[in-house]
Amino acid sequence: MAGILAWFWNERFWLPHNVTWADLKNTDEATFPQAEDLYLACPLAFCIFMIRLVFERFIARPCAMGLKIQANGPQKAQSNAILEKVFTAITKHPDEKRLEGLSKQLDWDVRTIQRWFRQRRNQEKPSKSRSGFYLKEVICSLDFLQTPWLWNTKECWYNYPYQPLTVDIHYYYILELSFYLSLLFSQITDIRRKDFLIMFLHHMATISLITFSYVNNMARVGTLVMCLHDAADVLIEAAKMANYAKCQILCNLLFAMFAILFISSRLGVYPVWILNTTLFESWEIVGPYPSWWVFNLLLILLQLLHSFWSYLIVKTVCRAISKGKVSKDDRSDIESSSDEDDSPPPSQKHHSSATNGTNKNHGTNGFLTGGPYPDEH
């Protein structure tokens, strides 16, 4: 085990040439990032995850119901003791063999049973009103507007890596890492959406970037990356809430503001401001080393994700212009399914239609035709 840890924390990978971990030990004069500091993020992430669940169930959901925001929410599965027993005691995702058995037992077709399980899973899905947690990022970001490296990015690399860690950056890192770990927990426990893999990749890249930049003391440029990414989150969540509340004019306005800010920051400011300093200014002042390459590859991966989400935003804007409003999210809180049909369960079996997952009425494979809001963080 000691050999594995020694290999993983190899100084020649993590640190520039002629720098050792001993050089970055805390002293009475200066404090530097320590890898063990990040352990605090794990229990804090669990607390954030639990606070979110409590907030949604006991505060956000009653408020949403009172404002009739959830009136068009997921359809409630009809009462059925047999299916409920299977759902709670055996499986929430029955396989084909079990579906056939239940079909014979209940005299329902397979597609209807699939729909019942989907609707039953949707009942346990967190409510639509789940915004509120992004404000903390913007508030924390405002604290760094006076930092010199915000306006002169070369300051990120002067005297690197012997740059003392300030208390506000330390806690900002812990809070950000905790938040994205909690998002990872939520993504795994929530109903799987169509973009599960791309969002999982985004969360893993973000967590890796936060960890990398803290461990090898790239905290200054890491702060710039986090501040830039936090800027647009509140607007997209506010636009979703306005959409759920049927405030279409406000929704359109907020989404337009989000689209402008997202595209200008992710496709303009990010490559010109962030990638320029991490790729070129750091090369000139510090020079490359192994973890430097990994850090920049992760930043480039993030840029590719930015391009993908910008494409989705432009697509949504084009549809909104053609329809006169922002359409409902393709990644809405209703579980993605290829056999959506809200008709009541038939009394006779129709096995011939159970295997065809396409919605024949609309030809959209069960999804709404509205453009997607990228649930990017």
Q: How confident is the model at residue 165 (pLDDT cuts 50, 70, 90)?
A: very high
Q: Residue length, the chain?
A: 377
Mean pLDDT in residue range 170-195: 84
- State the pLDDT at residue 46: 93
Task: Tell me which residue has tokens 């009809």.
Answer: 78
User: In this predicted model, what pLDDT tens digit does every residue of 86-132 receive, in sequence order?
Assistant: 888 888 888 888 888 888 888 888 888 888 888 777 766 544 444 44
- State the pLDDT at residue 365: 31
Q: Which amino acid is at 187?
A: Q
CA distances to 31, 84, 108, 266, 278 from 225, rounded to whole Å, are 22, 47, 53, 10, 11
Q: Which amino acid is at 156?
A: C
Q: How confident is the model at residue 37 (pLDDT cuts 50, 70, 90)?
A: very high
Query: CATH 1.10.10.60: which residues of the chain?
Result: 74-124
Structure tokens at 303: 């840029």
CA distances to 42, 47, 181, 211 from 36, rounded to whole Å, are 11, 19, 16, 11
Could you give the count of Cα atoms lying within 13 Å of 357 in the half-sphere of its Cβ?
A: 7
- State the pLDDT at residue 174: 93
Task: Tell me which residue has tokens 């804007």.
Answer: 317
User: In this predicted model, what pLDDT tens digit does every residue of 340-351 receive, in sequence order?
Assistant: 444 444 444 444
Q: What is the pTM of this model?
A: 0.71
Task: Tell me which residue has tokens 């990017």.
Answer: 376
The CATH architecture assigned to 74-124 reads Orthogonal Bundle (1.10)
User: In this predicted model, what pLDDT tens digit does every residue of 154-163 receive, in sequence order?
Assistant: 999 999 999 9
